[in-house]
Amino acid sequence: MQLTAKASLTNALLISICTPEFKGDEATESLAELARLVTTLGFKVVGTQSQKQSSTKKVNVLGLGKLAEIAHLTGNKGEVAVEAEEGDDIVEEIIDETSFAELPSENLPFACADVVVFDCDLSPSQLRNVENQLGVEVFDRTGIIIEIFSRHARTKTAKLQVEIARLNYVAPRLRETSCGDKERQMGKGAGETTLELNRRKVRDQLADLKRELVSVQNEMKGRRTQRSELFCVALVGYTNAGKSSLMRSITGSDVEGENKLFATLDTTVRALFPITQPRILVSDTVGFIKKLPHDLVASFHSTLAEAQDASLLLYVVDASDPSFRAQLDVVHGVLEEVGVEDSKKLLILNKSDLLSAEQQQALMEEFPEAMMTSARNPADVKKLHKYIVGIAQDEMIEEEIIVPYTANGIIGEIRSRMSVTKEEYESDHIKLTVRSNAIDLARLKKRMLSL
Ligand SMILES: Nc1nc2c(ncn2[C@@H]2O[C@H](COP(=O)(O)OP(=O)(O)OP(=O)(O)O)[C@@H](O)[C@H]2O)c(=O)[nH]1
Ligand SMILES: [Mg+2]
C-alpha cells in the first residue's frame, strides 16, 4: 500500500466494528487511538461510525444498510447494494454513531469523507468489496500502521524492516487484484500491470531486502557486542508514552520526542548524563501499539535486541492516559513475543505533571514499586538518573588494586573507566578501591600482571 490520497486534503471517516471481544470501553478507546493514527498521517477525522457485529469476517464487513448509509457520507460514488438480502446482517445492531450532523460545522460539508478507515484488519477481498461499494479508498488498521512506519523510518535498518513488512502486506492484495489501477495504488509503476509480473517482482524484492537486512543486522550485532561490557538500560513502552523525552532528559541528548505516534522507529543508544564511571548506556526503542501487525513485530526483532541485552528495562507508561494499563499489557505481550527477558525492571508512571496530587497518590498506591515522573521536571529526571546509577552500582564488583607509582598511565585509565571509592597512598604504591564490572576488572588485572 502507498496512500494515493493527498494526506493534507483527506477527510477520513472511521469505522469501528464492535465484536464481542471488546470489553467495556475498549472499542471507544481503540477508535480514539485510530483517530490519532490517521491524524499522524495528516488526515482529518470528519466522523466515526460504529456497528455491532458478531465478527469482522463478513464479506462486506458491515451490514448492507450501514454500507448504504456510509456510501451516502462518501458521496455515493460506489455501487452499494442498498437492499439487504434476507438473512443478511441479522446480527447488525447500531450501538453508537457520531453522525455528521453532530460534528462541528467546520467539519461539514456533508458527504465529505474521501477515505474510510476500519479499526480492524480486513482481508484483501473485504477491502476490495467495500471499496467497490463505497467508491473511495478504504484502509484497515494494519495498512495505516504500516504507512506510518514507512513514513517515519529513518535509518537503513528501519527502512529495510518496514519495507519488508509493507511488501508482505501488499503481496496478498496484489493477488486479489487484476487491473492496473489497483496495482498503481499499491505503489507499482504504470507499465507493470500484469499480476504475475508484479507478484514475481515483489517476491524478488522481498528476497533482496531480507538479504540486505541480514547483513545490516550482523553489523548491528557487532556493535552491540562491543558495548556488552557496559551496563545498559532500555526504555520500552507504548507509543507516545514519553520514552524519547525521558531519554533526552537523562542523556542530555537531542533524541527526537514528538507528539505523534511512532515518532521513534530506530533504537538510539546514548550515555547516561551526567557521565558516570564506567559509562552507563541508555537505549530508546520503537513504541508499541495494540494489534501491532505481526510482520512489524517480527521485523523489529533486531531493533528490540537492544532491550534484550539490557540489564535494566524501564517500562514507560503515559500515566495520564486512562488506557495505560491495557497499553502496558500490550507491551508485556510484545516483549514476551520477541523473547525479551527482563532481569530487572522498573515501571515509570510518566507525564505526572498532567495528574492531580490525588491521582498521583492513587496510582502510587496501586503501583507501589513504580516511579512517578514527568520528563519535564528536572527533579524527576535527577531521581531517575540516581536510580539507574544505584542499580548499576549494585551490579558492580568492588576490588582493591595495588598500583606501583612506576606504572605510568594506569591510574588515569582506572579513573576514566571505573569508579574509585577509596585511595590510600603508600611509600611505593597507591591502593585503590574500585567498583567496576567483572570484565573490566579482569582486563585490568591481566594488564597489571604484565607490568
Ligand atoms: N506533559 C507531558 N508531556 C510529555 C511528557 N513526556 C513526554 N511528553 C510528550 O508526549 C509526547 C510523546 O513523547 P515521546 O517522547 O515522543 O514519546 P515516545 O514514547 O518516544 O513515542 P514513540 O516514539 O512514538 O514510541 C511528546 O509530545 C512529548 O512532549 C511528560 O512527562 N509530560
Ligand atoms: Mg520515541
**CATH superfamily of this structure's domain 229-394:** P-loop containing nucleotide triphosphate hydrolases (3.40.50.300)
Residues of the chain with CATH 3.40.50.11060: 7-139
From 240, 282, 317, give the residue whose CB has the most ligand 1 atoms within 8 Å, as the site to mutate. 240
**Alpha carbon of 424 to ligand 2 centroid (Å):** 46
What's the longest Cα–Cα distance across the chain? Answer: 101
Residues of the chain with CATH 3.40.50.300: 229-394
Confidence (pLDDT) at 102: 40
Task: Give the whole-angstrom CA distance, residue 10 versus residue 89.
Answer: 30
User: Is the minimum distance from the CB of 303 to ligand 1 under 6 angstroms?
Assistant: no
Q: Which atom of ligand 1 is nearest to the CA of 245?
A: 15
Task: Give the whole-angstrom CA distance, residue 262 versus residue 148.
Answer: 7
Q: Measuring CA to CA, which residue among 30, 29, 251, 15 is closest to residue 136?
A: 15
From 236, 244, 282, 315, give the residue whose CB has the most ligand 1 atoms within 8 Å, as the site to mutate. 244
User: Is the minimum distance from the CB of 268 to ligand 1 under 6 angstroms?
Assistant: no
H or E segment at 72?
A: helix 64-73
Confidence (pLDDT) at 225: 64
Cβ contact 295:167 at 8 Å: no
Confidence (pLDDT) at 1: 52
From 37, 151, 243, 245, give the residue whose CB has the most ligand 1 atoms within 8 Å, as the site to mutate. 245
**Alpha carbon of 246 to ligand 2 centroid (Å):** 9
H or E segment at 361?
A: helix 357-366
CA 107 to chain centre: 30
Q: Which atom of ligand 1 is nearest to the CA of 354?
A: 1
C-alpha cell belonging to residue 328: 502496558
Distances (CA, A) of 60 to 80, 94, 131, 416: 10, 16, 10, 66
* pLDDT means over runs of 10, the chain (451 residues): 58 93 87 93 91 90 88 80 43 36 40 87 92 92 91 86 89 60 48 73 92 86 68 92 95 74 75 88 87 73 72 95 93 82 85 98 97 97 96 88 86 84 92 85 82 70
H or E segment at 313?
A: strand 312-318
User: Is the minimum distance from the CB of 239 to ligand 1 under 6 angstroms?
Assistant: yes
Task: Give the whole-angstrom CA distance, residue 349 versus residue 321.
Answer: 10
Confidence (pLDDT) at 81: 57
- The CATH number given to 7-139 is 3.40.50.11060
Distances (CA, A) of 199 to 10, 110, 196, 212, 418: 30, 40, 5, 20, 57
**Alpha carbon of 254 to ligand 2 centroid (Å):** 12
Confidence (pLDDT) at 197: 82
C-alpha cell belonging to residue 418: 571505573
> Is the pTM for the entire model greater than 0.95?
no
Measured in residues, the chain has a length of 451
User: Is the minimum distance from the CB of 375 to ligand 1 under 6 angstroms?
Assistant: yes
Task: Give the whole-angstrom CA distance, residue 417 versus residue 95.
Answer: 63
Cβ contact 2:186 at 8 Å: yes
Distances (CA, A) of 325 to 244, 328, 332, 338: 20, 5, 11, 20
Q: Which residues of 24-49 are buried (b: 16+ CB within 10 A; e: fewer)?
A: eeebbbbbbbbbebbebbebbbbbbb
Of all protein residues, the one whose alpha carbon is nearest to atom 1 of ligand 1 is: 351
DSSP secondary-structure letter at 24?
A: T
Confidence (pLDDT) at 85: 43
